[in-house]
Amino acid sequence: MVERLWELEAEVSAECSARNDARELAERSVRDIVGLWAPPPEMTVSQWAEEFRYLSPEASAEPGKWHNNRTPYLIGIMDAISDPLVQQVSTVAASQIAKTELCLNVLGYYAHYDPSPMLFIEPTVEMAQTISKDRIEPMIRDTPILRGKIKSSKSRDSESTILHKKFAGGHITLVGANSPAGLASRPIRIVITDEEDRYPPSAGTEGNPSELAWKRATTFWNRKRIRVSSPGEEATSPIWKAFLNGTQEQWCMPCPDCGEYQPFDWGQIIFDGVSMSCKYCGVIYPEHVWKSLTGKWIAANPDALKERRHRSFQISALASPWVKWHELIDEFLQAKDDGPEYLRVFINTRLAQVWKDQAREVAASVVMDRQTEYDPGVVPPGTKLLTGGVDVQHDSLYWTVRAWGTGLTSWNVAHGQALDWTEVEKVMNREWRGPGGAYIVNLCAVDSGDQTDEVYDFCYVNEDWAIPVKGASNPMLSRYRISVINRPTSKANGTQFVLVDGSQYKTMIASRLMRPNGRGAWMVHKDCDDDYAQQVTAEHRVPEKKRGQTVYVWKKKNERAPNHYLDAEVYAACAADLMQVRYLAEGEVGESAGQWVGGSESRRVEESKSQRVKEPESRRAGEQGKEKMAGASPNWLNQKGNWL
């Protein structure tokens, strides 16, 4: 009897335990199901970064756990992005303030905490691939909460690729602004545009890349538009226009004396002593004191939040923990000395300010003001190398020979109009003399837009000193791009030619013409003729609407006025870039220039000749019937066309 009671008790206990397990299982299932639909607990992007984000060793000088106090100015920007009251966040940012890490934190937040379809846009597809491999993949690998969420593109069972990373509830798609298909392919909730000021005006024929991408988010009530970029030119900068449309917030610090808040202002920086003065009371404190204070964002246009749900920010490198003020002062003085294009880079990428261009129109009289005391054909002292440029017309060939020194200092040695290719060959192969010795043209860039086959054949035969070039029909990110001739009927097939962004070179020439004679100036010889001066200044830079966007283009002041010498000078400047003229130091010439390094006059000429008569590798390969050598280049060819 007792044993039976024990058996009954055991059966009841087992049944109760089973019921409890079933109840617990049911409750857990309900909680899981509800959790899928319930809104996430409140957490901002900065809180997520502080708790979960890790920096990768190959992408950061300070790998390991992310700490918001290292870049306190990013907290307000990150939290604005996750604020449900904010739809657009636009940030005008300098380099080295961790703006890429800001974007990565946003990607991590919306992948883990609030899963969403995201679109990350870089200026080109190649840049999108680079940031995916060099920054996003390492972040996923080193941030534990993401490692199990997003599989690497290298995993065998992964659906992710370099440009498309999937996870439960969303994906990260990376595209280039030059890819219309990638911008319009799928609905997106989070749109991130990086370095928007470097985007082409239009993605193919589809229209503005940023606006095209934003249309993909129309169906999402909680969509977000995040724009981060250094600015460009005042009249055409997309990020600057976005900033003015938003709250216009600046990172401000309190004066240690009067307590008034103010942004880091380059105009208040005192070079001697490396300090900053208060704009209100005038007190001066060194860098470490200002940077040790607790800053805050102050809006100049706060109504934009209520009216347009748009917060905008501006932050310069003066606030960066990685950039010292004395470094910025040195950079500024060097850029000011080197010329307008270098100063523009400093203004845009260091101060996060727009460039106000003044070199829109240059008169012929300015060219005449750039005359030196040296006669035509005389190479001025300080010359490191010579380059040539040829503009090809149907009835004649306009040529120029330009001498180059350090700091992009240059002089027109000679120019003229040839009637045939033999005359051009003689000009480019003659000895040019001056107080510094004898020289020959190191490299000549020849326009292939007209008489293309003749130009290709000419440059093929003279490949040791001539290269074909062609003006680009659309703006380029770099000054030039090296490509390969694809013309099976030509013996030059498979050799290299250069695509040139003439607009960038014309801007450079116009800017340097405005400098007085001396270092960094664009000068001409004595007794310069008026025809040359008129042609070099035959164009001016004017704003123009293209697919709804304002862009600056170079156009003739008078459609009938010739501009052949201007084009020839553009090609000569491109040839100088191919010779790495921007890297020349005082008193030396780079080996890639194939030019002399000190020595006698005869050595200078003979070394140049011996360098030039070497048979180019690409021609030898062609004669031996090998495949096209797209990667092979003569030793003078610098393939890096990006701005310094």
* Distance in angstroms (rounded) separating the CA atoms of residues 188 and 282: 50
Per-residue confidence (pLDDT) for residue 358, from 0 to 100: 62
* Distant-in-sequence, close-in-space partners of 1: CB < 8 Å, separation ≥ 6: none
Residue 2, by phi and psi: left (phi above 0), alpha (psi -120 to 50) or beta? alpha
* Distance in angstroms (rounded) separating the CA atoms of residues 214 and 168: 23
The CA-based dihedral angle spanning residues 329, 333, 339, 345, taken in that order and rounded to the nearest 10 degrees: 0
Amino acid at 117: P
pLDDT of 578 over the 90 cut: yes
Per-residue confidence (pLDDT) for residue 640, from 0 to 100: 36
Per-residue confidence (pLDDT) for residue 590, from 0 to 100: 37
pLDDT 10s digits, 282-293: 999 999 999 999
Per-residue confidence (pLDDT) for residue 41, from 0 to 100: 57
CA atoms within 13 A on the CB side of 576: 32
Average pLDDT over residues 463-481: 90
pLDDT of 362 over the 90 cut: no
- Burial letters 201-211, b for 16+ CB under 10 A, else e: bbbeeebbbbe
- State the angle between helix axes of 502-513 and 564-578 in degrees (0 to 180), rounded to the nearest 10: 100
Name the strands in the sheet holding 284-286, side by side, starting at the edge strand that comes first in the sequence.
Answer: 269-270, 275-277, 284-286
Cα radius of gyration (the chain):
31
Taking residue 273's Cβ as centre, other Cβ atoms within 10 Å add up to 10
Per-residue confidence (pLDDT) for residue 59, from 0 to 100: 86
* Distance in angstroms (rounded) separating the CA atoms of residues 68 and 58: 20
The answer to whether 425 and 454 are in contact (CB under 8 A) is no
Q: How many helices (H) and strands (E) does the chain have?
A: 22, 27
- Asked which of 274-283, 291-300, 509-518, 593-602 is least confident by mean pLDDT, the reply is 593-602
The answer to whether 371 and 523 are in contact (CB under 8 A) is yes
* Distance in angstroms (rounded) separating the CA atoms of residues 110 and 171: 9
* Distance in angstroms (rounded) separating the CA atoms of residues 399 and 565: 7
CA distance readout (Å), 146 to 105, 112, 166, 226, 613: 11, 7, 12, 21, 58
The answer to whether 129 and 173 are in contact (CB under 8 A) is no
* Distance in angstroms (rounded) separating the CA atoms of residues 449 and 451: 7
pLDDT of 148 over the 70 cut: yes
DSSP β-bridge partners for residue 540: 555
Q: What is the mean pLDDT of the chain?
A: 84
Sort 231 into a burial class: Cβ within 10 Å, 0-12 / 13-18 / 19+.
buried
Percent of the chain with pLDDT over 70: 82
pLDDT of 6 over the 60 cut: no
Sorting pLDDT into bands at 50, 70 and 90, what band is 151?
confident
- State the angle between helix axes of 452-461 and 421-429 in degrees (0 to 180), rounded to the nearest 10: 40
* Distance in angstroms (rounded) separating the CA atoms of residues 112 and 167: 9
CA atoms within 13 A on the CB side of 617: 11
Sort 631 into a burial class: Cβ within 10 Å, 0-12 / 13-18 / 19+.
exposed
> Where in 283-421 does DSSP place strands (E)?
284-286, 296-299, 310-315, 385-392, 397-404, 410-418
The first and second tokens of residue 202, run together, are: 């239009």
The first and second tokens of residue 396, run together, are: 């004649």
The first and second tokens of residue 184, run together, are: 């319009």
433 vs 477, higher pLDDT: 433
pLDDT of 17 over the 90 cut: no
Per-residue confidence (pLDDT) for residue 566, from 0 to 100: 96
Taking residue 372's Cβ as centre, other Cβ atoms within 10 Å add up to 16
pLDDT 10s digits, 393-452: 989 999 999 999 998 999 999 999 999 999 999 999 999 999 989 999 999 999 998 899
- CA nearest neighbour of 209 among 187, 231, 194: 194
Per-residue confidence (pLDDT) for residue 541, from 0 to 100: 87
Sorting pLDDT into bands at 50, 70 and 90, what band is 208?
confident
Sorting pLDDT into bands at 50, 70 and 90, what band is 542?
confident
DSSP β-bridge partners for residue 481: 499
